[in-house]
Chain A
Amino acid sequence: MPQPESIFAKSRPGRVGTNVPTCDTPQVDLVSTLGDLRENLRLPEVSELDLLRHFTNLSHITYGIETGFYPLGSCTMKYNPKINEKTAALPGFAGLHPMQPASTAPGAFELLRSVQEMLCEITGFSEVTLQPLAGAHGEMTCLMLIKAFHASHGEADQRTVVLVPDSAHGTNPASAARCGYSVKSIPTDEGGNTDLTALAGALDGEAGKSVAGLMLTNPSTLGLFEPNIERICEMVHAAGGQVFCDGANMNAMVGTTRPGDHGFDCMHLNLHKTFSTPHGGGGPGCGAIGLKAHLEPFLPTPVIRRSQNGSVWLDSDRPNSIGRVSAFYGQFLMEVRAYTYLRAYGKEKIADISRHAVLNANYVMARLKDVLPAAHNRPCMHECVLTAERYKREFGVKALDISKRLIDYGFHPPTNYFPLIVPEAIMIEPTETEAKETLDAFCDAIILICEEATFQPELLHDAPSTQIVGRLDETKAVKELNVTDLHL
C-alpha cells in the first residue's frame, strides 16, 4: 500500500465537499458589519467522494476492536454494542440544547438520574455525579471533594499530602498535583499488595495529620484484588484521611463486589471502559464519580436529584458545592450509551460481566505461564501482568519487541512497561467479550513469538514488518518537531 497523501495535497481550489445551506436574507457588507477580516483561509478543498476515500483509506490503517483482539491492559477494550450507537443518535437526545429550559428535557434528566441510581447500586455509593468528562477528570473531582471536606473541618491547610501506591496510574499523581497536593509514594509488598508497614508509617503521628487521603486502585494495576482493603481504609480513616478508589478496574467487580462496601469514600468510573461507551481513538471518555453521604454537600453543580414522588429535578441550592467542573451536563450522549448497556444486561446478567472478564484473564495467564510467567503467582482479576524479563536477560528481546511482533500476527499489543514496578511488564486485559478461540489464537501467537525470541530475535527487533510503516523515530519527532502541515 502506498503512503497516504495528506488531505492538503489532495486539495484543488474551487472544489467543495458538501452541499452548504443556502441563504435567503439580504446581503451585508462584511467589513462594516464585522470589522477586520482575515486575509486567507487555508483549508482543504476536495469533493465529497474524495473526502470519503481519504478517511476510509486512513481507517484501513487504523486498528479498532471491530478489526480484532485488543488486549490493552488497564483499558478494558470490550465490544461496544451497536444498539448503543442507535439510541445515542435518537433526535430527542442528539438534538437537545444544554441551555434549553430544564422543563423541556424531562426524558434526558430521567435518563441521567437513572444512570446515577444504577451506578450507585453497582458501586455501593450513596450518590453519583456524571459531571466529570473523563477518568482523570473524575479523579481530580474526587480530590476536590476531599479537599472541600477537609476545608469544612478547618483542616485544608494542614492536610497537604496524598498517598499514591507505586503501582498507580500516572493520572493519580498528576490529578493530585492539579489539586495542589504533594504526592507521597507507597510501596507494594512482595506479594503484590499495599505495603501495610509503609502505609502505617506514612499515617503515623505528625505525618498522618498531613495526609489528605489515599488514592488506591482496586483491583490494583497488577490485576490483583487488595485483600486488606477494609483494613487499609480503616487505617487511613483513623488518621483523618479519605480513601479514593481509582475505578479503572471496575470491570473486575461489576455485580460481584462493591467498592462502597470496601470502605472507600469516593471513586471514579470510566464509563468508556466498564460500561462499553466507545473509546473513539482516545475519547470521549466519561468519568462518573461515586461518593458517600459525607461528601455530598460538596458535589459539583449541576446536581440532579429524584424526589420521593419519583420526579427528577435540578438541585440548585448547593452552597457548599465545589462549583462546576465542566460546562453542561457531562458527556450526555455517552450516558445514553451507558444507560442502554446497563438496561441490556439488567439485574439478571450484570454479574456475567465481571465473571467472564476474570475467567478470560485467568485463562490467558494459565495458558502463557510457561513462556511468560505472571509477576505474582495468585489468581488475577480482569487482567494479568506477566513479565518478559527472561527474554531481555537471555536474548536481548524486550517486552516492547514481543508486543510489536504481535502486530505482525494480527493482534493489537497488550500494555507494556506498566505497572512500573514489574520489569518488562506485559499487561493483558482480554475483557469478557472475547471468545475462547480468540484467546487461544492470541496465546498461540505469543508462544510462537517467544520461540522466535529464542532462535530468531531479529524478527522481533525489526517488527512490525507488515504495517504501512515500521518502527518510527520518536526521538526525531521531538527534536525536529513537526506538528502542523509544513506545506501550508
Chain B
Amino acid sequence: MPYIPHTDADRAEMLALIGVDSIDDLFREIPPNLLLKPGELNIPSALDESRLFAHLRELSLKNISVNDVTCFLGAGIYDRFIPATVGAVISRGEYLTSYTPYQPEASQGYLQTIYEFQTMIAELYGMEVANASMYDASTAMAEAAIMAIGIVKRDRVAVSSAVHPHYREVLQTYAWALGLEVVTIDAHDGKTLDFSLVQDCACVIVQSPNFFGTIESLSLARQAATDHGALLVVVSDPISNALLKPPGAYGADIVVGEGQPMGIAMGFGGPLLGLFACKKEYVRQIPGRIVGKTTELHGDREGYVMTLRTREQDIRREKATSNICTNQALMALAATVYMTALGKNGLQQIATSSVRNAQYAIQALQSSGGKLRFRDNVFCEFVLDLPADAGTVRDELLKMGILAGLPLGDYYPGLSQCLLVAVTEMRTRDEIDRYAAALKKVLANLNSKPYAEARN
C-alpha cells in the first residue's frame, strides 16, 4: 500500500524497541471478544489506482451534470464562472493539507488569507466584521438566530416564508433541540411585507434577493425589527451585493449567505461556504473562528492569529458561543481567490451580465407561454407561472437538454405550476432562445394531450 511506508524490517525494529512481539500485542487492552478477525469486514476488495479511477469515472458518467445540459436551476446554488486560478491555489498542498492554524508562526500565510477573506466579506455585505466561515448558509442562518436569542434574551425568532425552505428546515431542527420557537411570516406576492409577528421575537430573518429572486425591502424590515426591539438578520447572495445596496447599509445586525457562487463547484451541494458578518458591537457573540492582526510579543513585526478564542468550544466548553470547530477554510480561500481575481470590476460585470440575461430570459420565456408570477424587482432569478404542472414541464425540457429550474409545488403547494428560473452570466442569448423555443414546444405538446390527468 503506497500510503503506508513500513517495510518488514521497519516493523521488526519498531516492535523490538517497543518491546513487544507483534502488532497484535499492542491491542491487548481491547477485550478479545471485541477484536475483528483478519478480513472479517464485508467491504469490497481493493482496487489499484488505474482501475479505481476508471470505476469512479464510470459512476460519475451515470449522472447528468451541468456539463451535459444547460443549467437554469439556482435556488441558492448557482452555475457560475470559476477562474482557473481558484483551482490552482486551493490545490496547493500547503493549503489543502494543513490543519486549523493553531500554531500561528507556522501558518502566517493561511492566516493572512483568512484575514483578507473577512475583509472582503465585510465589505461586500457592508458590515463591520465577518468570521472565518461557517458550514453553509443554512447552518449560518441557524447560528445567527441563536446568536440573536443570546443578545436579545427572547426565545422566539421570526422568519419569512420567502427564505430558502431548506434553510428554514435547518433552523427548525436547531430550534427544536434548544426548545426555541420559530414563527413564520407569510410573504405576499413573493415579498415580505407584514412584520406584525415579529413582536416578542429576538430577530426577524429575511432573505434578499429572496428564494423567489425578489429583492426585499430591507428598509421596511429594518424599521419593523427596530419597532419590535428585534435584530435584523439578512440572508443574502454575495454576487447580488456587487450591485445592490448591501444589507449593512440598511442597518442589518447580522448578515449570512451562501458563498458557493464565489468560485466553488456546485458539487451536489457540498462542500459549500457559510458566510457570517455582523456589527462590531456583537463580535464577542459571533460563532466560529475569527482571525485578527497583532504584533510580535517581543518585536514589532506584524502577524495574524486566531483571536477572541475564549468564545470557542475548546476553551469555553458548554458556555461557548457555538459548538463549531472545523469550518470551511479551504472554501473560504477559494472565495478569497475568486474575489481577488474578479475584483471590483469583474464582480460588477458578472452581476450585471446576470441581470441582463435574466431580464432577457423573462421576456423570452413570457413570449413562449410563461408568465412572470411576481411583479417586484428581481436580481437574476424569477418565478415563471406556467399553464401546466411545473414538474412535468421541467421533465420534458430535461429531455431536450435544458435544466429548466425548480418546480415550486413541493415547497409551496399553491405554486405547483410555477418554476423558479435562475440565469447567471454563464448563459448566452442563444441558450436562452433555445430554452424559450423548447418551452413553447413543450407547452404546445402538453396542451394537446391530457398530461396532467395521465400523471395522476
Contacts and interface: CB of A to CB of B under 8 A. Distances in A.
A308 interface: no
A91 B266 CA distance: 10
7 contacts: A14-B345, A20-B425, A97-B403, A224-B29, A256-B30, A323-B176, A327-B272
Contact of A43 (B67, B84, B139, B344): B344
A20 B44 contact: no
Interface string B38-74: 1101111111010011011111111111110001010
Contacts of A477: 292-294, 305, 307
Contacts of B95: 59, 62, 64, 280-281
Interface stretch (A195-203, A341-349, A390-398, A448-456): A341-349
Nearest first, the 4 A-B pairs at minimum CB distance are A328-B269, A346-B46, A92-B60, A98-B269
Nearest to A379: B26
Chain A's interface: helix, strand, loop or mixed, by majority? loop
A471 B105 contact: yes
Contacts of A7: 116, 340
Q: Looking at B4, B71, B312, B352, which has the most chain A CB atoms within 10 Å of its CB?
A: B4
Given A18-B341, A52-B85, A256-B30, 8 more contacts: A18-B342, A18-B346, A92-B61, A173-B318, A178-B322, A255-B36, A379-B27, A462-B298
A147 B89 contact: no
B64 A136 contact: no
Given A91-B60, A224-B29, A179 B357 contact: no
A470 B297 contact: yes
A134 B326 contact: yes
Contact of B60 (A61, A107, A133): A107
Nearest to B48: A344
A346 B43 CA distance: 6
Given A350-B43, A403-B103, A45 B345 contact: yes
Contact of B5 (A28, A94, A176, A433): A433
A277 to B, nearest CB: 10
B454 interface: no
Given A28-B359, A171-B325, A178-B178, A16 B245 contact: no
Candidate in A170, A182, A415 with the most chain B CB atoms within 10 angstroms: A170
A144 interface: yes
Interface in A107-122: 107-108, 110-111, 117-118, 121-122
A324 B166 contact: yes
A473 B269 contact: no
Contacts of B272: 327-328
B60 A281 contact: no
A25 interface: yes
A373 interface: no
B109 A57 contact: yes
A436 B330 CA distance: 31
A21 B426 contact: yes
Contacts of B113: 55, 58
Interface string A262-279: 100000001010001011
B43 A281 contact: no
B89 A72 contact: no
Contact of A282 (B66, B101, B105, B120): B101
Contacts of B66: 95-97
Interface string B166-197: 11011011101111000000000000000000
B100 A134 contact: no
Contacts of A63: 94, 98, 103, 106-107
Given A93-B267, A324-B138, A16 B342 contact: yes
A377 interface: no
Contact of B136 (A8, A326, A481): A326
A73 B60 CA distance: 36
Interface in A38-80: 38-39, 41-46, 48, 51-52, 54-67, 70, 72, 75, 77-80
Contacts of B292: 477-478, 481-483
A62 B108 contact: yes
A326 B36 contact: no
B138 A378 contact: no
Contacts of A342: 43
Interface string A313-353: 00000000011111111111110100110111111111111
B313 A348 contact: no
Query: Considering residues B295, B305, B318, B395, which has the most beta carbons from chain A within 10 angstroms of its beta carbon?
Result: B318
Interface stretch (B9-17, B365-373, B436-444): B9-17
B14 A346 contact: no
A319 B430 CA distance: 45
Interface residues of B, number: 206
Interface string B325-364: 1111111010001011111111111101101110110000
B133 to A, nearest CB: 7
A180 B61 contact: no
B406 interface: yes
B269 A104 contact: no
Nearest to A354: B27
A377 to B, nearest CB: 12
B97 A65 contact: yes
A179 B178 CA distance: 5
A340 B75 contact: no
B178 A94 contact: no
B305 A472 contact: yes
Nearest to A176: B318
Q: From B77, B85, B294, B308, name the one whose CB has the most chain A CB atoms within 10 angstroms.
A: B294
B320 A170 contact: yes
A412 interface: yes
Contacts of A351: 36, 38, 41
Contacts of B43: 117-118, 121-122, 342, 346-347, 350
B71 A483 contact: no
B387 interface: no
B259 to A, nearest CB: 12
Contacts of A485: 115-116, 119
B330 A83 contact: no
- Which of the listed residues A283, A413, A432, A477 has the most CB atoms from chain B within 10 Å of its own CB? A283
A110 B62 CA distance: 10
Contacts of B60: 87, 90-93, 107
Nearest to A70: B99
A295 B366 CA distance: 49
B303 interface: yes
A353 B4 CA distance: 8
B208 to A, nearest CB: 11
Contacts of A472: 104-105, 294-297, 303-305
A137 interface: yes
B59 A230 contact: no
B416 interface: no
B122 A352 contact: no
Interface in B264-311: 265-272, 283, 289-299, 301-305, 307-309
Contacts of A355: 23
Given A25-B432, A64-B95, A37 B290 contact: no
B99 A469 contact: no
Nearest to A334: B271
